Structure 1
């Protein structure tokens, strides 16, 4: 009974403030703030973290597939043994094994959102002795935060994942696949300061994720330049099962209960990659690349189911948090051979979306063992 009285006190505190809001636009913003729609930041940050993990692994598979090799073997199938994958396995007569690590960082802005992500991936992979293929496993961990300025709300998220991956070449064609399992833990903070109320709360939400990426492409040699133009298509489905938790406003009692629903992302990519090999006058070997794709998410909704803690049967899920249904996805970088069995690389990434945009940078080293 005391809990119900506290809940009534909470709404007795909030409702008079809503009645004082002067305009319809301001009232809509106030309802969004009270209704906790900004909790959509939680699945947004988790799915974005998984996308960054996918991108890091894809870059490593591309590094093996395109390789640092002479211009005459830029496609990886001319003048190389089927098992070499263009990686230099023929130098020792055995299938090569690799260890790699790649830090990453990005900034998101636009649509009233701002956020950052930092993290790193590590992996081990190796060539198959009897096939032009690479298989491996990777782990990723990142921390991120994203906030919506209009509602004084933010999500701070930690996300970790493990992945299995592989790429197979058949002449100028290739197909690659990634399977990912991940777990995220987020702290969702919000306040009602915009209504003139000194009320704030935080809620812990976690989620389990399963996802994958399937990509296929076909490379065309650009004359004798040593460059390759590769059209490709990819599909990257992700499912997030979000846990639930109830916020609390101290002596005024519980507010909203969040979560308990499944959120899916179904982005598809259609694009081209331009890469090649350049040998400098001092003998250094460099491999620049540019990857551009149009991304369309067939399921951009990131809404989280909510209910009043004392009225659990009354649920709602609307949110004004912007989503990215269509975007230009860009990756550009440069790899160079730093020594026998060691490759270093650096890159810039950008996703220019209709809801908000993200730009970032990555670095990596890849060593043969």
Structure 2
């Protein structure tokens, strides 16, 4: 009696294992990739055009779950979108045999919206847009559709595919999705202005520009409101600098455009700031592009040497650090200026002195020099201290 019960238990256990194995294979089939890296299932069961049009077209399809397909053709058991930042699943509506709507959240705007595009249903159960895979239908059973879903592309160029389950929506559910994703993403415009540069250098303290295109309405403000005064006349904007340097953002509900504004006027320079020194403030070089620091008669490498900012005695704290982005506005004697990002308070010699500048001094002859104002700038682009720097060409030293 006990032996019979044991045999029955073993047979039941083996049947359960066999059933689970078959079920797992059904949920997670093994996939292949063609020569273009596109994912497919060999010997996929064909879904005819008639079945596609009767079962898929005219319906909305709600996302249930997605499993990422690995390069070995096997599925991850984890939901692809679980814990994923900056993105989410798409919902679909095959509104006709030629037009498809995809509803999604786009973190870059951010916006809940939709895209409408033409599609074709091809051999291999392939739904494509201009030849590009949108999805490949694996199976249709009742109101459940399983697909190979193209998810995007990684930085290394590898395409990402998922094995996704979708459920057919009721008409009420489709209406809810349409209401939840109201924005036509194809109609969103970039903010464009009459400004051509992200860094703008002016003389004086007045600057004007036009906002040319935007979505609905726009706002404009400086990160530090005390840096400037902003007035608008329609789409024409006037800015008056109150300090030397402002970081300004033009925004609408989807897009934003940022730019910096500086002046080369001496009247705009900060007064009384006494925080940082440079570890050297003058260099000399010869025709072989060899450099020295004159005060210490120390050789410097053009490629690797940096000018470092050091805190003066009596000052505690740090405006310039690895965690607080800072910049240097470099202004020469002709009031030509450029903005350079400091790397943890360091400005590399080759960034400050491009070879074209050095060649100009060589052509002018022995003793030629250029003086700079190195204007230390905070993360919100305000100049807070000005330090002198000089470079001189000497044929021999």
Do these two structures clear the TM 0.5 threshold for a shared fold by scoring above it? Answer: no
Q: Specify which structure has the bigger relative contact order, considering alpha-carbon pairs within 8 angstroms and separated by 6 or more residues.
A: 1
Question: So what's the TM-score if we normalise by structure 1?
Answer: 0.21
Give 1 or 2 for the bigger CA radius of gyration. 2
Instruction: Kindly indicate which of the two structures has a greater share of residues assigned to strand.
Output: 1
Question: So what's the TM-score if we normalise by structure 2?
Answer: 0.20
